[in-house]
Amino acid sequence: MRTPVAPTQVERFFDSSELIVSKTDLKGRITYANSVFCRLAGFSEAELLGQPHSIIRHPDMPRAVFKLLWDTIIAGHEIFAYVKNMAKNGDFYWVFAHVTPSYDAAGQLVGFHSNRRVPSRGAIAAIEPIYAEVAAVEARHKNGKEQLEAGYRHLTAFVESTKKPYDELVLSL
């Protein structure tokens, strides 16, 4: 178990020509991480392999976003999401993630594949206050289950209020 690191206010960036790629097993443990992922996250490949993908979870990210993501990919659908990640030293970086289920030759779900691109600054400006609001709703509850349920209700209510399906909303930012 890694010692908790305090988030810094230092943002890391990557080039729009670069792609962050990772693969995980069904439990979300990293089975592949490309060099861009390792560089931005500040981990070696050896440090990442076998670790839960949440090793780069930034505390500003609401748990409800990850519930939506996991529910979608476990159901066999792709999802797009803006995610604020945290590097090994506490720095942060934003990504526009495209996560898909991976299947073996027999059609069995075996894991997940994620490509992350540089997000637009306008999209970050639009999504950051929404995430902060969902995180604040989660923080009002004492236990994790209640936090997740309340945050998820708030997130889905927000999406419904836009009169757009989630994917359309995210792609419109």
Look at residue 73 and tell me if it is in a domain.
Answer: yes
- Chain centroid to Cα 71, Å, comes to 13
**What pLDDT score was predicted for residue 1?**
55
Tokens of 147: 């936090």
| CATH, residue 50 | 3.30.450.20
Which residue type does 76 have? G
Q: Enumerate the β-bridge partners of residue 23.
A: 32, 113
Q: How many domains does the chain have?
A: 1
Look at residue 112 and tell me if it is in a domain.
Answer: yes
Look at residue 5 and tell me if it is in a domain.
Answer: no
Q: 19 burial class (0-12, 13-18, 19+ CB within 10 angstroms)? A: middle
pTM flag (> 0.85): yes
Look at residue 33 and tell me if it is in a domain.
Answer: yes
Look at residue 9 and tell me if it is in a domain.
Answer: no
- Rounded Cα gap, residues 133 and 139, in angstroms: 10
Tens of each residue's pLDDT in the chain, 173 residues: 567 899 999 999 999 999 999 999 999 999 999 999 999 999 999 999 999 999 999 999 999 999 999 999 999 999 999 999 999 999 999 999 999 999 999 999 999 999 999 999 999 999 999 999 999 999 999 999 999 999 999 999 999 999 999 999 999 99
**What pLDDT score was predicted for residue 81?**
97
Look at residue 36 and tell me if it is in a domain.
Answer: yes
Look at residue 131 and tell me if it is in a domain.
Answer: no
Residue showing tokens 């779900």? 109
**What pLDDT score was predicted for residue 4?**
82
Task: Note down the domain range covering 100.
Answer: 20-119
**What pLDDT score was predicted for residue 2?**
64
Tell me how far CA of residue 141 lies from CA of 25, 42, 73, 149, in angstroms. Answer: 31, 33, 27, 10
- Residues 128 and 81: beta-carbon distance below 8 Å: no
Tokens of 1: 């178990």
Look at residue 161 and tell me if it is in a domain.
Answer: no
